[in-house]
């Protein structure tokens, strides 16, 4: 059983839910540090602000891709997987959708991708 906590801070204490993998359980836990990045978050529109915004967005994309890859590896190994985000941002759906894209070629077709985003 694998748990991926996609919280923005990479740890508990944010006021949301928090699952822990006990030593006695057959669970592996990974804490993501995917940022709270949305289209309006830190949207600088000049010079340095824009550069920092782009760098932050690219960092977020890289972390979500890493999490999706970790989830796909866990599922391919036959493990159950729980992905959650305690603060209500879009990271959970981003990670789960990308994991589906990695694992199932159907979702890489036009009709499959359309189904995935609905």
Boundaries of every domain in the chain? 2-9+27-117
pLDDT level of residue 39 (50, 70, 90 thresholds): very low
Mean pLDDT of 32-43: 50
- Which has the higher per-residue pLDDT, 62 or 89? 62
* Known active-site residue 67: no
Judge whether 90 is annotated as a binding position. Answer: yes
Mean pLDDT of 85-100: 86
Per-residue tokens: 82: 């729980």
Put simply, whether the predicted model's pTM sits higher than 0.75 gets the answer: no
DSSP state letters, 81-118 = EEEE-TT--SHHHHHHHHHHHHH-GGGGSHHHHHHHH-
Judge whether 20 is annotated as a binding position. Answer: no
pLDDT above 80: residue 64: yes
Mean pLDDT of 68-79: 95
Judge whether 91 is annotated as a binding position. Answer: yes
pLDDT above 90: residue 73: yes
Q: Which is the catalytic residue, given 67, 85, 95, 96?
A: 85
Closest C-alpha to 53, from 43, 61, 62: 43
Closest C-alpha to 81, from 58, 92, 61, 90: 92
């Amino acid at each position: 059983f694998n748990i991926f906590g996609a919280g923005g801070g990479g740890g508990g204490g944010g006021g949301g839910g928090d699952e822990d993998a006990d030593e006695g359980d057959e669970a592996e836990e990974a804490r993501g540090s995917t940022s709270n990045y949305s289209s309006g978050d830190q949207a600088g529109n000049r010079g340095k602000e824009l550069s920092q915004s782009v760098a932050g967005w690219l960092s977020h994309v890289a972390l979500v891709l890493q999490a999706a890859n970790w989830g796909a590896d866990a599922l391919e190994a036959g493990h159950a997987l729980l992905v959650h985000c305690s603060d209500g941002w879009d990271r959970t759906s981003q990670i789960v959708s990308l994991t589906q894209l990695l694992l199932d070629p159907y979702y890489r077709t036009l009709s499959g991708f359309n189904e995935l985003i609905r």
